[in-house]
Amino acid sequence: MTSSPSPVTASRALLATPVGVIAVDSDGLAVVGISWQDGSSPHTEAASDPVLTEAIRQLRAYFGGSLIEFDLPVCLDRLSGAARAVLTALQREVAHGQTITYGELAALSGTRMSARGVGTIMGCNPVPLVIPCHRVVAGDGLGGYSGGAHGQGLSTKRWLLEFEGALPPTLF
């Protein structure tokens, strides 16, 4: 994970995925944002941004089942040091097919962050999927998820965890 000096979006691409259309933003040096787009038609801008091109390639491979670990520069410059530490620990330590609780991630991060604080950080993650906040769960269930199309957060989280093999598929 790297940081870029200027978190200004230079280019954007939209990608249709099994969990909705996502927008990927790049500043030319790093991925600065990933978000779900309600009602957007999927198309990719003709971009000469190699970071954006690689991000779209890796996301397609992830959803195609052939990539389990992203290797992209991301920008976390607008986050606090504690938030960067928590997200970095998550990205480095919680692999595809695994989950971790909010409290376990708080301890793993080396910060004095509470489980609730970790939940807040997960909701502020600028690059979901690449930094897999969907893998962070509550001690007694899925917890929350701010990703996904409007109103589809928990079903998106469940789909991603089932897709990665961290949860058994639902029967209904």
Annotated catalytic residues are: 133
* CA–CA dist 99, 77 (Å, integer): 26
Q: What gap in Å lies between CA 109 and CA 157, rounded to an integer?
A: 22
Q: Which amino acid is at 158?
A: R
